[in-house]
Every structure is written in structure tokens, then in C-alpha cells.
Amino acid sequence: MRVAMYYNNLDVRVEEMPVPQIGPGELLVRVRASGICGSDVMEWYRVARAPMVLGHEVSGEVVQVGEGVERFAEGDAMVVTHHVPCNACHYCLSGHHTVCDTLRETSFDPGGFAEYLRVPAINVDRGVFKLPAGLSFEEASFAEPLACVLRGQQRANIRPGQSVLVLGSGLAGLLHINLARTLGAGRIVATDMVEYRLEAARKFGADFAFLATDDVPARLREVNDGRLADLVIVCTGAIPALKQALESVDRGGTVLFFAPTEPGVNISVPINDVFFRNDVTLTTTYAGAPANLASALELIGAGSVRVGEMITHRLGLAEAALGFKLTAEAGDSLKVIIDPQR
């Protein structure tokens, strides 16, 4: 079978690998849509393990069913998730499924940028979901990133009527904007460095969008009745945005640090001003649990989050290198979907 083998952001090659052989409890899936995630182009995170087949935002159809699998059959359309928790450890029982050791060790073989992948038994048990009727493979591939966004907003305790500031209007930022609008947020403000993405932010639910190089707290007060934001969601690892987040959150508000930074980045937090005097909550989130994925798929199936409109490029495996380039440049592209069957 053909795969897109990742060496670095500028070196993605179409290569041949054997079709994976499945065992008891496993599935063989023909990949029909696989989104390129922002984390796929974080070279500091990926290159040390290259070459490798990436791709974890995956939908496809079952072509072979392992012994003992009863919930799925050949031809079923599904979403598969690469990370699944054990559901039994201290972290899972505390509701922190995404820091479970099992979740961090599980994956599928080889990755979503391949014509076929093997879904291990533990993933089949708790990380495979059938597509709602009428939902396309492309739209379904957003279930994993939306699950991460949904978990983040739940951790931040988003409430109807809250003002929301989203720093960074790439794909994650747009999902946060659209989901916050769906969940009843009040005024939504977005920032970015690229005008194309600011326009996209307005399209997907932001009431106001302006350049990240502006005086963000001042601009926020201008459009938010003199107040800062109840909830600030940081969707970029840029250090200035981290500082802007602390300066832009209102008293009693919450900052959700959603995006990672490069290794070794630290920020200084004025303890008295942020915590003692203003009762601000700083929180973060990582990945999504199976329950989040199921909820995300329902939201997409119901049309509550407009993921299909976020797709700007549809490419085959032979064009995977272009897809990585577009995603890494973060310019006039939002979501790049790879269809390995093209």
C-alpha cells in the first residue's frame, strides 16, 4: 500500500509498505479522509521520531474484521481515534483520561496518511465510532480535533453569555469560536496575524476580529463594554500571546492554554494581580477522551459545528508534501484533508 512518510515538514515522500495484518479483536480500515493537524508540523515534536507515518484525524470504512469483533462489520463507515485510555487507573477514575499512561502509549498502525490502517483491539473496544447517517468522511475526520476543543471548553467551564477571546484563528481557534457560539457564548473576539484567518474567524462566529499586533486588551475593552474577557482561549504557542492572555482576562475569568509552545518556554505570572486580587483561573487541556469524541461526532452530525466549510484543500497521497507545506506556513489555508484513495 502507499503511505506518506514524514521525514520533516519539507520532506514528505510517498512510499510503499505492506498492508497491515490484523489479529483477534482488530479491524483493518480503508482510510477515506485524514486531516493534517497543527501538531503534525511541529518539527521539534516529530523529527526525532522520523521517518514515520503520521495522521490521527481519521475516518474510513472497515474492510476486514478480526475474530471476536461483533460491533462492526465490513463496509461500516467509522471514525477511529489513535489514543484511548485504560478507564481503570487513578487518572481515569478521577476524570483525567487524557493523562492516562495507556492513552499516551496507544496508537494505530501505521497512521492516517496511508491507504489502510490496523486498529488494535483496545482502540476497537473504546475508540471506534460509526458515522451518523449522511455524514461525509471529510466532515467525520474533524471529530478528533473537535473532541479536543470540546474537552478544553468543558475544562474551562464555559457558560452561556460569557465573553470569549480566542488568541489565534487557525483551525483550532476556528473550532473554538464556532463551538463557543453553539454553546451560547456572548460576545466573541478573535485575533490572528493573518487577515485571511481573521475573516474566517468572523465567518465562523466571532463578533470582532483584529490583528494580534494590536493592543489586544485595549481593543477588547472597546468592543466589550469596557470589560476584559470572561474566558480567554490561547490557540497559539507564540510567547506574546501568552502575555496577552494574562492581560486580557477579566476579574473572575479563566485562561485556557490550549496550544503547546516550543520546549523550554516559561512565563511569569504576577501572583497577586492574577490570583489573589482578581481570582483568575489558569487551566489547560490535552487531547480528548472517547466520550468527547462521541459528543463531537454528534455535534458534527447535527450540523452544530460547521466543519465542512473549514476545508480549504483536498489532496491525495501524492500531494501530501504540499499539504504539509500549506499547514506549516499557516497562510491562506485552514484545513487540509488527505484522501489516500485518490
What mean pLDDT comes out for the span 127-140? 96
Q: Is the pLDDT of residue 105 over 90?
A: yes
List of residues 6+ apart from 219 with CB closer than 8 A: 189, 208, 210
List of residues 6+ apart from 196 with CB closer than 8 A: 331, 332
- Taking alpha carbons only, the member of 84, 26, 59, 77 closest to residue 292 is 84
Q: What is the pLDDT of residue 306?
A: 95
CA atoms of 182 and 220, how far apart (whole Å): 21
- Dump pLDDT digits (tens) for 17-46: 999 999 999 999 999 999 999 999 999 999
- Taking alpha carbons only, the member of 302, 300, 321 closest to residue 311 is 300
Phi, psi dihedrals of residue 135, rounded to the nearest 5°? -85, 135
We find that the CATH architecture of domain 2-142+305-339 is Alpha-Beta Complex (3.90)
Q: Are the CB atoms for 235 and 171 separated by under 8 Å?
A: no
Q: DSSP assignment of 179-221, as one string?
A: HHHHTT-S-EEEEES-HHHHHHHHHTT-SEEEETTS-HHHHHH
Residue 135 is placed in which grid cell? 455524514
Q: Are the CB atoms for 38 and 54 separated by under 8 Å?
A: no
Domain boundaries, the chain: 2-142+305-339, 148-284
What mean pLDDT comes out for the span 198-223? 98
Cross-strand pairs, 191: 167, 210
Amino acid in the structure at residue 46 = R
* Percentage of the chain lying above the pLDDT 90 cut: 96
Q: Are the CB atoms for 120 and 106 separated by under 8 Å?
A: yes
Q: What is the pTM of this model?
A: 0.97
Residue 47 is placed in which grid cell? 523529527
CA atoms of 173 and 177, how far apart (whole Å): 6
Q: How many residues can be counted in the chain?
A: 342
- Cis preceding linkage at 51, omega within 30: yes
Q: What angle do CA 291, 297, 300 make, to 5 degrees?
A: 145
SS3 177: helix
Residue 15 is placed in which grid cell? 512510499
- Taking alpha carbons only, the member of 338, 256, 240, 342 closest to residue 36 is 338
Q: What is the pLDDT of residue 273?
A: 87
Average pLDDT, the chain: 97
- Dump pLDDT digits (tens) for 147-190: 999 999 999 999 999 999 999 999 999 999 999 999 999 999 99
What mean pLDDT comes out for the span 211-240? 97
List of residues 6+ apart from 127 with CB closer than 8 A: 80, 81, 82, 83, 84, 106, 119, 290, 293
Q: Are the CB atoms for 108 and 117 separated by under 8 Å?
A: yes
Q: What angle do CA 213, 195, 157 make, to 5 degrees?
A: 70
Q: Which residues of 90-124 are buried (b: 16+ CB within 10 A; e: fewer)?
A: ebbeeebbbebebbeebebbbbbbbbbbbbbebbb
- Dump pLDDT digits (tens) for 270-302: 999 889 899 999 999 999 999 999 999 999 999
Secondary structure letter of residue 166 according to DSSP? E
Q: Where does 148-284 sit in CATH, by number?
A: 3.40.50.720
